[in-house]
Amino acid sequence: MGAAFFYHLTESPLEATLPMLIGKAQGAGWRVLVRGTDAALLKRLDDVLWQGPDDGFVPHGLAGGAHDADQPVLLGNVPSDGFACVISVAGADVTADEVTATERTCILFDGHDGAALDHARGQWKTLTDAGCAAQYWAQEDGRWVKKAEK
């Protein structure tokens, strides 16, 4: 049974946090879905992952290609079947069934955006009310610190 990890982005932008989390997931041997609903954002994240350092290359693809099933990291708004880790960006929804069916669900949200905060709070309540384990992580002096767990 998986758990939902909420990441409150206040010091590091999404473009810096996402590659770090993908690296940790790949280190665990997990196939990763980066779920977003904004095609322009997913394209920007695709570019970020391609431009990473040579020693930090992240093999990945945008959903809709001929080789989606072969991608170790797929960016898109697709079902989570076949993925061990789902990373939700920019308010993309995840279900309690997805949380329990995966090893880890990461929900990244912009701490400087009131609407994003409200949406994340709603996701926390929905998922924990459904019985999902959840952790809330925030940044302090450049480090991630666990602030709550349910």
- Domains annotated on the chain, with CATH: 3-149 (3.40.50.10110)
Which pLDDT does position 58 carry in this prediction? 87
Which pLDDT does position 1 carry in this prediction? 73
Contacts of 15 (CB under 8 A, 6+ apart): 44, 45, 48
**What's the Cα-to-Cα distance from 83 to each of 9, 29, 32, 75, 149, rounded to whole Å?**
24, 11, 6, 12, 24
Which pLDDT does position 57 carry in this prediction? 76
Which pLDDT does position 55 carry in this prediction? 66
CA atoms of 7 and 114, how far apart (whole Å):
15
Mean pLDDT by 10 residues, the chain (150 residues): 94 94 96 97 94 77 94 97 97 97 97 96 98 97 95
Q: Name the residue type at position 82.
A: G
pTM more than 0.85: yes
Which pLDDT does position 54 carry in this prediction? 65
Listed residue (148, 119, 134, 142) closest to 5, CA to CA: 134
| The length of the chain, given as a count of residues | 150
Question: Tens digits of per-residue pLDDT, 78-112?
Answer: 999 999 999 999 999 999 999 999 999 999 999 99
Which pLDDT does position 84 carry in this prediction? 98
